[in-house]
Amino acid sequence: MGFIAIFCFTEAHRVWIGWEGTGTMPLIVGGIFTLLALSLLVFPAPKAVPVVWYSKGEMFRIGMITLYFALYLSLMGWLGYMVNTWLLLAAVSKQLSTRKISGILIWTGAVAVGTYFIFRKYLHVPLPVGFIGELMRQYLGLRF
Amino acid sequence: MDTFALLLMGFSNALTLQNLLMALIGSILGTLVGVLPGIGPTAGLAILLPVTTLLDPIPAIVMLAAVYYGAMYGGSTTSILMNIPGEIASIVTTIDGYQMAKQGRAGPALAISAISSFVAGTLGLVGLCLFAPILSEMALKLGPPERFGIMVLAFSMVISMSGKSILKGLVSAAIGMAIVLVGIDPYLGLGRFTYGTITLVGGFDFIAIIMGLFAMTEVFRSIGAQVSAIYDAPLRSLMIKWRELKQCITCMLRASVVGFFLGCLPGCGPGVVSFISYDFEKRISKNRGNFGNGAIEGVCAPEGANNATTAGGFVPLLTLGIPPSTSLAVLLGGLMIYGLQPGPLLFEKQPVFVWTIIASMYIGNVILLILNLPLVGMWARLVKVPYHIIAPLILLFCFIGTYSVRNSLFDVGTCLAFGFIGLVMSKLEIPFIPLSLAIILSPMLEEVLRQTISMGGGSIGVLLERPVALALIGAGFLAVGLTLYLRLRWARAEELFGLEQAE
């Protein structure tokens, strides 16, 4: 907390142009963090209950989902929303169940295509089309 | 003509087939906008604004108003069922709503949300009819110092929202205040905490943080714990019991009053008001200990208040032309497209228009109740859907919800990062709510503080000349003091009880 306070004070000093300027709020927030840090020094937690962190199994499962989501984000521009989302949903669903992949691929595919059309076509959210969309546009004249 | 006669005239116009149809379409679309995360009422109205230009002014505004209050209705559904707040006003609903869903009481939670929204929305409209001119004059007299007082009072809620440890709640709020500092200062255009990176210039998106903290964290936690469904036992009840409804009647009335009167104030959008209403209810409730663990009043109060706020927000909009929230600013744009200039003369010059809109809102509330109550059972069964289906869908909603706000993958990354931060915070028992509250209130506090300082010529001394502002600040400190005193007394009583038991 002391470090955050120092960051806030430094930033407040950098942008300071007076009390009605940009630096006021960083100064206040820095002050709050300083007070909190001091109060922790003066009143340390009396009976701190030891924190039980996540087990190895839990960490592994959470880590896998994070990996899928991180891959999803980094491949979004290349694979496009539809294919990428299909793969993410299928991977997450497969990890959480023992069902056959064929069934999973069908429902996840339907969700990916359905949400793409709802959000891109009707709500005008510019979801990435990826290389498949580009190829379809170039060679088949289809615009998704 | 008196108010009642004008309202009757409004009803006769609103009950035409075209206006009824527009209210119905608007209500359905609004509910969808509320249910879909990320597409909040503001975005929903902005998307539909061009479509409504094809219509006459009255049906167009009837539809836009229906979208607005429909979104307030719909926002609670995903909050209760999946811990995903559909829009800002539904963040508080997640606290007790999701707990109720996890206890197999999603049905009563959804039902009380719909009923409370209906009651408070209707009472708010009664307030709009009766008090609009008086309230608009009063709201105009509140300057930046008074609004600063309101913000201080609102910030005092952090203490009562802190859970077991006040210090942890304060740390959480301070982190929230620090997060919103990142990005361009909206008044002077100077960058703060950007460190020369373009990505940070836009700051962290609020929706991304909220989705990360609430939805992502919950998915991570549930996947880690290998849950098979949000609720894995036979559902206890799909409909609300008469006893529960009776328990909530006074709560609905209080939420209506709080929501309506605060909704009349500029800057007090549904997001802030739902927090205030929840906190108020928690302070006065006999079941204070149940709040946070699935108290039905914890769903009733914020849901009622945010719908009463939508009616309250129309007071400054129609009588002064001042939109108290961004959603109503879009609606104001809709009015102006048709050459209608909201202000003190609108009620005199365009009585047919104003009273038809107000009457259509009464009808819209009834439509929403009829649409939502029968669907409660269907929605409630969603908590039984296997987690291997629900989890990927929540992740997808998180992606679309955060991406669609600014079309930025950085925001989606922020959401993921806050999912992790949420995991750590939950293990350290640091509550999320003070952080969310600080993220909503901090920019408003900064705005009114800087305006107050400017008014005082570089000094905050102007506050001393404003008794209302001083009273509000005093009330804030009093609320903090009272909460601390009650907590100490409660802790001492628990300690004594423990000692007695040991003896």
**Could you read off the pLDDT of B10-63 as tens digits, one per residue?**
888 888 898 899 889 988 888 887 777 656 777 778 777 777 777 888 888 888
For B387, which residue in chain A has the nearest alpha carbon?
A96
Which residue in this structure is represented by tokens 């209500």? B27
- Report whether pLDDT(B71) > 70: yes
Predicted confidence at residue B305, as pLDDT, reads: 92
- Report whether pLDDT(B354) > 80: yes
In terms of Cα–Cα distance, which of B90, B18, B95, B5 is closest to B60? Answer: B18
A60: closest CA of chain B, how far (Å): 8
- Burial bucket for residue B50 (CB in 10 Å: 0-12, 13-18, 19+): exposed
Identify the residue with better confidence: B340 or B102. Answer: B102
Q: Is B449 on the interface with A (CB under 8 A)?
A: yes
Q: How confident is the model at residue B179 (pLDDT cuts 50, 70, 90)?
A: very high
Q: Is A127 on the interface with B (CB under 8 A)?
A: yes
In terms of Cα–Cα distance, which of B483, B87, B84, B430 is closest to B280? Answer: B483
For B445-470, b/e burial (b = at least 16 CB within 10 A) is: bbbbbbbbbebbeeeeebbeebeebe
Which of residues 33 through 92 in chain A touch B, CB cutoff 8 A?
Answer: 33, 36, 39-40, 43, 51-54, 57-59, 61-62, 65-66, 69-70, 72-73, 76-77, 85, 88-89, 92
The answer for residues whose C-beta is within 8 angstroms of residue B205's C-beta and 6 or more apart is B402, B405, B406, B408, B411, B414
- Report whether pLDDT(B228) > 80: no
Identify the residue with better confidence: B107 or B88. Answer: B107
Measured CA to CA, the distance from residue B104 to residue B233 in angstroms comes to 7
Predicted confidence at residue A35, as pLDDT, reads: 92
Give DSSP secondary structure letters for B179-222. Answer: HTTSEE-TTT--EES-TT-SGGGG---HHHHHHIIIIIHHHHHH
First vs last C-alpha separation in chain B: 74
First vs last C-alpha separation in chain A: 49
What amino acid is encoded at B122 in this protein? T
What six digits make up the tokens of A43? 């009143």
What amino acid is encoded at B292 in this protein? G
- Phi and psi for B183 in degrees, rounded to 5? 120, -170
Residue A130's region, left for phi above 0, alpha for psi from -120 to 50, else beta, is left
Ranges A82-91, B127-136, B284-293, B398-407: which has the least confidence: B127-136
Ranges A2-6, B25-29, B490-494: which has the least confidence: B490-494
B91 neighbors B222 (Cβ within 8 angstroms): no
Which of B181, B396, B449 comes nearest A115 by C-beta? B396
Give DSSP secondary structure letters for B347-389. Answer: HHH-HHHHHHHHHHHHHHHHHHHHHHGGGHHHHHGGGGS-HHH
Most confident of A27-36, A134-143, B319-328, B435-444: A27-36
Predicted confidence at residue B174, as pLDDT, reads: 93
Q: Is B413 on the interface with A (CB under 8 A)?
A: yes
Q: Is B171 on the interface with A (CB under 8 A)?
A: yes
Q: Is A18 on the interface with B (CB under 8 A)?
A: yes
Ranges A16-20, A51-55, A82-86, B208-212: which has the least confidence: A51-55
**Could you read off the pLDDT of A104-132 as tens digits, one per residue?**
899 999 999 998 888 887 777 888 888 87
Predicted confidence at residue B383, as pLDDT, reads: 74
Most confident of B300-309, B426-435, B452-461: B300-309
A92: closest CA of chain B, how far (Å): 6
B203 neighbors B178 (Cβ within 8 angstroms): no
Mean pLDDT along residues A72-98: 89
CA angle A91, A96, A100 (to 5 degrees): 70
The answer for residues whose C-beta is within 8 angstroms of residue B62's C-beta and 6 or more apart is B14, B19, B22, B23, B26, B356, B357, B360, B364
Measured CA to CA, the distance from residue B116 to residue B106 in angstroms comes to 15
ipTM: 0.88
B475 neighbors B152 (Cβ within 8 angstroms): no
Mean pLDDT along residues B260-265: 83
Q: Between the CA of residue B75 and those of B215, B301, B424, what are the distances in Å?
A: 14, 14, 27
- Phi and psi for B190 in degrees, rounded to 5? -90, 140
Contact B190 A62 (CB under 8 A): no
Predicted confidence at residue B215, as pLDDT, reads: 83
What six digits make up the tokens of B497? 């009880």
B339 neighbors B54 (Cβ within 8 angstroms): no
For B415, which residue in chain A has the nearest alpha carbon?
A69
Strand-pairing partners, residue B191, are B184
B51 neighbors B25 (Cβ within 8 angstroms): no
What six digits make up the tokens of B120? 């408070």
DSSP run (H or E) holding B300: helix B297-320
What amino acid is encoded at B502 in this protein? A
Mean pLDDT along residues B469-485: 85
A141: closest CA of chain B, how far (Å): 25
Measured CA to CA, the distance from residue B95 to residue B162 in angstroms comes to 12
- Report whether pLDDT(A144) > 70: no
Contact B450 A89 (CB under 8 A): no
Q: A-B interface: how many C-beta pairs under 8 angstroms?
A: 135
Contact B181 A58 (CB under 8 A): no
Contact B178 A53 (CB under 8 A): no
Measured CA to CA, the distance from residue A23 to residue A29 in angstroms comes to 10
In terms of Cα–Cα distance, which of A37, A29, A40 is closest to A7? Answer: A29
Q: How confident is the model at residue B413 (pLDDT cuts 50, 70, 90)?
A: very high
Contact A73 B409 (CB under 8 A): yes
Helix count (H) and strand count (E) of chain B? 22, 2
Measured CA to CA, the distance from residue B105 to residue B80 in angstroms comes to 10
B400: closest CA of chain A, how far (Å): 8
Q: How confident is the model at residue B120 (pLDDT cuts 50, 70, 90)?
A: very high
Q: Is B192 on the interface with A (CB under 8 A)?
A: yes
What six digits make up the tokens of B490? 């409660």
Mean pLDDT along residues A136-140: 74
C-alpha R_g of chain A:
25
B413 neighbors B254 (Cβ within 8 angstroms): no
B148 neighbors B447 (Cβ within 8 angstroms): no
- Report whether pLDDT(B323) > 80: no
B62 neighbors B20 (Cβ within 8 angstroms): no
What six digits make up the tokens of A108? 């996840």
Measured CA to CA, the distance from residue A5 to residue A125 in angstroms comes to 39
- Report whether pLDDT(B262) > 70: yes
Helix, strand or coil, per DSSP, at residue B21: helix
pTM for this predicted structure: 0.79
**B chain contacts of residue A99, beta-carbon cutoff 8 Å:** 388
Q: Is A105 on the interface with B (CB under 8 A)?
A: no
Q: How confident is the model at residue B176 (pLDDT cuts 50, 70, 90)?
A: very high
Residue B239's region, left for phi above 0, alpha for psi from -120 to 50, else beta, is beta
- Phi and psi for B294 in degrees, rounded to 5? 105, 35
Strand-pairing partners, residue B192, are B183
